[in-house]
C-alpha cells in the first residue's frame, strides 16, 4: 500500500511532520531512511533541502539515515530503507539518473511493500505521472536533452511545488496563469502546493495538509 508525502520543502510544519509520523506508524528509532541527493547536481549532501530533512529525521529520533546519490552509488542501498526521501534540485537530472541506476524500479517496488516515500520539490514531481510541468516552466533546466518526460507514476495528478513563490519562477505572467495555460493545453488538472503545504497519500486516500 502506497504511503507518500509530497512536499515543496520537506517536513516544514508540525502538521506535515504529524502526517509523516502517522504514515510510518512505528518508533522512528527502529527505522532506516535513505535520502536521495541526486537532484542537487552540485551540492548533493550540502543542499539545503537535504540538510533540513536530515535535521528533521534527527529531531524525531531517526538515527540510521543514509545519503544516497544514485548517479554514482549503488541504488540497491534503497532496498534496506523503511523511508525513502527524494530531495530537491533539477528534476530532469534526477529522473534521468533514477532510470539509469534502476532506482525508479526499486522505489516503485519498495512503495508496494509499504516503504514510506517523501518527495521534496523535484522529488515530488518525479514521483508523479510526468515532469511536463517542469518543461513548461523551466525548460532551461533540461541540460541533458531529455525527451521522455514520463516519471514514476506512483500517483496520478501532476503536482506543482512552491506555488506562490514568484521569486523562483520569474516571468511576466503569474504562476497561476501559466499553470492554467498548461492545464488547458494538456487537458489535465494540476495540484498546487505552497512551501508550507503537502499532499499525504495513504493507500487510496489523498489528503491536502494545510499550513494551519
Please, how many CA atoms are within 13 Å of residue 166, restricted to the half-sphere of its CB?
Answer: 8
Residue 194, sorted as left (phi over 0), alpha (psi -120 to 50) or beta, turns out to be beta
Instruction: Report the top-level CATH class of 3-165+191-209.
Output: alpha beta
Residue 38: helix, strand or coil by DSSP? Answer: coil
Would you write out the chain's pLDDT as a tens digit for each of its 212 residues? 799 999 999 999 999 999 999 999 889 999 999 999 999 877 666 778 899 999 999 999 988 999 999 999 999 999 999 999 999 999 999 999 999 999 999 999 999 999 999 999 999 999 999 999 999 999 999 999 999 999 999 999 999 999 999 999 989 999 999 999 999 999 999 999 999 999 999 999 999 998 65
Task: Report in angstroms the alpha-carbon separations of 7 from 12, 50, 203.
Answer: 8, 13, 17
Amino acid at each position: 500500500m502506497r504511503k507518500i508525502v509530497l512536499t515543496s520543502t520537506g517536513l516544514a510544519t508540525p502538521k506535515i511532520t504529524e502526517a509523516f509520523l502517522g504514515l510510518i506508524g512505528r518508533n522512528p528509532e527502529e527505522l532506516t531512511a535513505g535520502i536521495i541527493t541526486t537532484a542537487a547536481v552540485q551540492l548533493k549532501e550540502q543542499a539545503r533541502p537535504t540538510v533540513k530533512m536530515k535535521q528533521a529525521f534527527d529531531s524525531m529520533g531517526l538515527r540510521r539515515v543514509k545519503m544516497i546519490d544514485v548517479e554514482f552509488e549503488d541504488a540497491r542501498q534503497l532496498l534496506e530503507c523503511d523511508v525513502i526521501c527524494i530531495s530537491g534540485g533539477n528534476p530532469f537530472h534526477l529522473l534521468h539518473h533514477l532510470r539509469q541506476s534502476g532506482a525508479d524500479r526499486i522505489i516503485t517496488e519498495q512503495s508496494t511493500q509499504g516503504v514510506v516515500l517523501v518527495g521534496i520539490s523535484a522529488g515530488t514531481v518525479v514521483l508523479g505521472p510526468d515532469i511536463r510541468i517542469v518543461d513548461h516552466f523551466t525548460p532551461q533546466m533540461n541540460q541533458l536533452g531529455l525527451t521522455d518526460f514520463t516519471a514514476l507514476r506512483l500517483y496520478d495528478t501532476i503536482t506543482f511545488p512552491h506555488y506562490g513563490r514568484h521569486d523562483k519562477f520569474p516571468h511576466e505572467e503569474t504562476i497561476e496563469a501559466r499553470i492554467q495555460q498548461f492545464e488547458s493545453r494538456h487537458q489535465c488538472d494540476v495540484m498546487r502546493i505552497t512551501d508550507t503545504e503537502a499532499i499525504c497519500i495513504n493507500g487510496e486516500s489523498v489528503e491536502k495538509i494545510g499550513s494551519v
